[in-house]
Structure 1
Amino acid sequence: MTTVATHVRPVQRSRTWLLTVILAGQFMAILDVSIVNVAAPTMRADLNASGSALELVISGYTIAYAMLLITGARLGGLSGYRRLFLYGLALFTVASLMCGIAPSATLLIVFRLLQGAGAALMVPQVLSLIQIAFDGAARLKAIGVYAAVISVAAVVGQVLGGLLVTADLFGTSWRPVFLVNVPIGIVLLIVGARLLPKEHMPREQGLDLPGLITLSLAVSLLVVPLVLGHEEDWPLWGWISMGAAVVVFGLFLLAERRARHPLVPGRLLRTPGVTPAAIGIFLVMVTYAGFLFSSALHLQGALGDSPLRAGLLFIPAAALFGLVSLHWKRLPARLHRPLIVTATVVTALAELGLAAVMSDGGHHEVAMELLFALLGAGMAGAFSPMMTVALSHVPPGEAPDASGLMAMMLQLGQVVGVAAFGTLFLSLTPSAHAIGVTSVGLAASALAAGVATLPLLRRR
């Protein structure tokens, strides 16, 4: 039985500061996924990294992030959201420094894993604090800002990465894409230590270590062959590993049914809207991450754009994602749930448009920017309402588990998106049709998200 401590909600000014600090941390964590995309070609040349090493630099962060998010959420419920947020932020900041001075691709991968672990401790506390500190209309508004931060940060990373790599500050090439986190992290640590509330909600729960190990193994068995398969010419061990991932994940589900303190409580999955929304968030992020990664490589590879120009092309996607995330609630309430499915169709159409425009090897800049904007609007129209529906019925006492589940699905989606569609794109390169085929696959992923969220159309 969950025990909820008496919680005195902070005044409006304190809540504003709370939201600012925790979303700044969230912004950095998401930024660090996409900021590396634009720097990837420069990083590959500077470190003489293989294609698989490059994907591990990008995906290693999200692999560690995704595998440890549920644990980070549970630890927040046990030890205090403030404490775990600050611990995670400190680890993230130190790891960013180490990434920025890494002398080899191997060490960079190691430090990216540490970065992901820090983010996994920090990020789940964000939704937990929002669930507890806000209610009613204020909570809906806070979740809207949260969704906008996630989406805008992903695209801002593309732009900022381009600016930093092109600037080549003091001859440091790609390294500022990591070092930029250090001063921001230090400021957030100082401000957060003073402003974040010390309270938390004591819970009669422990840590499911066997479940954590089993789930981590299942994710690793799936993602590692996806990342390395292209470079290794799809060896037999890769197919065996992916098959084993399905078996191990099945064992995880069986074990969770008998676990005393399961990572994902059954009662949470039975909460209306949670399961289809979690699947939908996963598929939307597969689409988004695959789009960002493959498009960045196409722009700088086949089209020969500089990192800066490639990054700037993503601004329309960021702008529309942010605007839709903040304002979709102005639609009549009866349209909120249908918006989710409609938006996935819009996203799929945008991807099919990109397949047609980009596959001839030309630089149709105006058409690309319009389609990027349409894709950003579609993603936001699906993601923000999904998150709101998923959390609307979750009681505050289960906020840590809910935030951990949604954040895990979000990050797993990014891992699979980069691994699967990055591998598809690299496998077809240098064919002119590489981006076209990849975009068609991304359209299918967006439509699958729409199908998964059809149950959300039923009101309860």
Structure 2
Amino acid sequence: MSQQTKSISHEPEPSPLRTQMQQKPTEFSTLAAELVFVTICSMGQVLFAIFLGDVVVNQVTLLESMKLPAENTPWIIGSFLLASGIAVVIFGSLADLTNPKWLMVTLFGWLTVWNVVGVFSIKPSMHILFFVVRAMQGLASGGLQATAISFLGHVYSPGVRKNRAFAALSAMTPCGFWIGCLKGGALSAHLPWIFASNAILCGVICLLATWNLPSLPASESRSIRNFDVLGSLCAAAGCGLIIFGLTQGVPSKWHPYTYSLILAGVVFFGAFHLVERRAKRPLVDNRLWKTSGFLPLVKSYFLGFGAYIGGWMFYAIRFFLTIQKTSPVTAALYMTPNVVSGILTTWLMARTLHLFSGHWILTIGMVAYLMGPVFFLPQTPNTIYWALSMPGITLVTLGPDLTFAAASIFITSSVPRSFQGSAGSVLITVQNIAAAIMTAVSDTIGERVSAGESYNLDLTGLRAIWWFSLGTSALGAVICAVFVRIPRSEEKEHVV
């Protein structure tokens, strides 16, 4: 293709490639079919956020209902993230090597069954089953997220249409979290119905996915025989051991075995690195690790997203519940700006991702992560919602929306079509490990600073956590602004 002369002032004629990329993918007969496809793929993000929100808003109520000590609070999120982290590593590659349609249908069905089981787990005698159900939710929702990125990456080549699809995917997290918080708050007096409503939702989505998702054609590269079993086992073991050791740290008073688990996880990640260098078809295309700006991006995203989930969001809701003594449904309504800001951000992203360099969008998102702790540090038990909480929640929501969309598009556009799910799983794995590490560190900081011998985070402890979140987010923003450079998104073919 001949190179366009940059000095021409008038709009150049669109190239055949650009025209092709702007058209609807051949997998869809109508625009409506394409919209349904993107919506169903986004359900992995929605369900992940719903399962997080409807439990986080009931973090106090659930422990009281099952008569569990407050020290088990980290496991409400930890059991979910543990399984999700393991699943993402495996399912990202599986989605690249199999037909992602049937993988998604199976995972939606899996969620339906386990949410039915969850209906019977909210009892003191069944608390172990409750955490197993949470793990199964994390396993399937993590798999759905990785599979969705693989599916979208296969269908869309880099360009404006892909940007809009991934922007929609990014919007689903704040929407799902708000729905989960609101549903969980409304059902706080009827906790089994939280799982019952989730089972109904997952069953409906499973049927819609069966009828509406396109089936990708078979190819030589899409063969389960190419699956890197040894690499996936090392990565899953490393991720699982690290998240388990970190989550169990506070409940066990950081017993030496928790350090041993974390160290063992690091060793498995070292083994994963060695295995991948020699694998015939590695889990993740090795070129990704050498892509300019990738490692600084991962570091900044780790710090920013981890500080958001593990250093602000969980404890902001805890502040509403335990310091300001609001009901779960009121705390859920307080998070309404989360979904409004998320939708507006997505609308803006869909129209600007191809106009600005990705690192500027990523840096703005990293700065937005600072707004949560900035607006919550001055809070007191009597601070009115509209003064600090509302603007803080509105602004901090820009963080995950902007950074996930910019980072996922950059990562999936840097690898071949056959590695889309694997590349996306790297980003989600970073999210899970970051959330686990930051939650564990935040819990430890809050417990040490709070008054009293038992686990009881007071306002002093929460402020210490938010200072930690502020510093971590600021460091991530600096790394992003100085070291990350992402070119503006453009119409092109996949890397080969």
TM-score when normalising by structure 2:
0.83
Query: Structure 2 counterpart of 1:447, which letter?
Result: A
Kindly tell me: are residues 81 and 430 of structure 1, through their superposed partners in 2, closer, same or farther at Cα, counting changes over 3 Å? closer
Structure-1 residue corresponding to 2:241: 221
Q: 1:282–1:413: 8 Å Cα contact kept in structure 2?
A: yes
AA aligned to 1:312 is L
Map residues 395-410 of structure 1 onto 2, 5 A cutoff. Answer: 395-410=416-431
Q: Secondary structure at the match of 2:325?
A: coil
Distance (whole Å) between structure 1 residues aligned to residue 347 and residue 431 of structure 2: 19
Shift of 1:315: 1.2
Which amino acid letter does the alignment assign opposite residue 443 of structure 1?
L
Q: Is the 8 A contact 1:227 1:420 kept in 2?
A: no
| Matching of residues 383-402 of structure 1 within 5 Å | 383-402=404-423
Task: Indicate which of 202, 215, 227 corresponds to 1:198.
Answer: 215
1:10 aligns with 2:25: no
Q: 1:79 to 1:160 in 2, by over 3 A?
A: same
2:361 to 317, 339, 357: 339
Match in the other structure for 1:106:
128
**Higher helix residue share:** 1
Superposed CA deviations along residues 146-181 of structure 1, whole A, max 9, x for unmatched, are: 11112322233223221221xx3xxx3x22222211
* Structure 2 spans left out of the alignment, 5+ residues: 1-24, 451-455, 489-496
- CA change 1:391–1:277 in 2 (3 A) is farther
The question of whether the paired residues in 2 share the 8 Å contact of 1:101 and 1:175 is answered with: yes
Q: Per-residue displacement from partner, 1:222-246 (whole Å, max 9, x unpaired)? A: 2223222223222222233334433
Question: Aligned-pair distance for 1:426?
Answer: 4.5
Q: Per the alignment, in what secondary structure is the counterpart of residue 333 of structure 1?
A: coil
State whether structure 2 residue 465 is matched by structure 1 residue 438.
yes
Cα distance, 1:260 vs. partner?
2.9
Where does structure 1 lack aligned partners over 5 or more consecutive residues?
Answer: 1-6
> In 1, are the aligned partners of 2:306 and 2:437 still within 8 Å (CA)?
yes
Partners of 2:393 and 2:466 in 1: CA distance: 12
Question: Residues 44-77 of structure 1: CA distance to partner in whole angstroms, max 9, x if unpaired?
Answer: 0000123343322322122111112121122222
Q: Does 1:46 align with 2:65?
A: yes
d(CA) in 2 for partners of 1:432, 1:122: 37
TM-score (norm 1): 0.89
The CA deviation at 1:298 is 1.9
1:73 aligned partner: 92
Of residues 215-224 and 190-199 in structure 1, the stretch that sits farther from structure 2 once superposed is 215-224
**Matches of 2:90 and 2:400 in 1, distance apart?**
28
- Work out which of the residue numbers 87, 92, 95 in structure 1 matches 2:114: 95
Do residues 181 (structure 1) and 198 (structure 2) align? yes
Q: What one-letter code is carried by the residue in structure 2 that aligns with 1:85?
A: M
Counterpart of 1:3 in structure 2 is none
Q: Distance in 2 between matches of 1:178 and 1:122?
A: 18
State whether structure 2 residue 164 is matched by structure 1 residue 141.
Answer: yes
* Between 331-340 and 18-27, the greater mean CA deviation after superposition: 331-340
CA shift, 1:8, in A, is 4.0
The aligned counterpart of 1:456 is: 484
Counterpart position of 1:151: 174
Larger radius of gyration: 2
Deviation at 1:368, TM superposition (A): 1.4
Task: Give the structure 1 partner of residue 396 of structure 2.
Answer: 375
| Partner in structure 2 of residue 317 of structure 1 | 338
Contact 2:93 2:419 in 1 (8 A): no
Asked if residue 289 in structure 1 is aligned to residue 309 in structure 2, the reply is yes
Letter in 1 for 2:200: P
Identity of aligned residues (%): 18
Q: How much does 1:296 deviate?
A: 1.5
Q: Is the 8 A contact 2:234 2:272 kept in 1?
A: yes
1:335: Cα distance to partner?
A: 5.6
| Partner SS for 1:158 | helix
Matched pairs, number: 446
Q: Distance in 1 between matches of 2:61 and 2:309?
A: 20
